[in-house]
């Protein structure tokens, strides 16, 4: 991506280095709560495509964090073929169903991140 100043920009907002993994993160705002994974796949398709350029391995993950108008967050793990809602800081899971691009099986939610 090129910024307005012509300088190449990365496809993520920051990288978290934890003991267990490296997490590539994109942050976006939403005017409403995401209620279905299909909705996030459509609304944030460019961000998801950018995150998927980072290799997904056992020690590397990709996440999309959505800030809602009332100051709460929704977190999504971006797999190669799936998107899953992940638990927030309080341990509550995002109220959306997992989504698989193949449509054959739901994605499996990931555990909350420790040390972040």
pLDDT digit string, tens, across residues 32-70: 988 888 899 999 999 999 999 999 999 999 999 999 999
pLDDT confidence of residue 10: 65
Domain ranges of the chain: 14-100
Higher pLDDT, 76 or 88: 76
**What average pLDDT score do residues 21-30 get?**
95
| pLDDT confidence tier of residue 89, bands split at 50, 70 and 90 | low
pLDDT confidence of residue 87: 72
Give one DSSP letter per residue of 29-89, joined into a string. E-SS----HHHHHHHTHHHHHHHTTS--BTTEEEEEEEE-TTS-EEEEEE-SSEEEEE--T
Q: What is the mean pLDDT of the chain?
A: 77
pLDDT confidence of residue 12: 84
């Amino acid at each position: 991506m090129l910024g307005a100043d012509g300088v190449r920009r990365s496809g993520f907002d920051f990288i978290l280095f934890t003991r267990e993994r490296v997490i590539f993160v994109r942050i976006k705002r939403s005017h409403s709560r995401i209620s279905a994974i299909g909705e996030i796949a459509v609304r944030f398709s460019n961000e998801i495509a950018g995150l998927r350029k980072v290799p997904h391995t056992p020690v590397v993950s990709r996440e999309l964090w959505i800030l809602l108008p009332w100051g709460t967050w929704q977190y999504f793990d971006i797999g190669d073929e799936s998107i899953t809602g992940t638990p927030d800081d309080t341990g509550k899971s995002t109220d959306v169903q997992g989504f698989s691009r193949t449509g054959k099986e739901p994605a499996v939610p990931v555990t909350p991140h420790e040390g972040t």
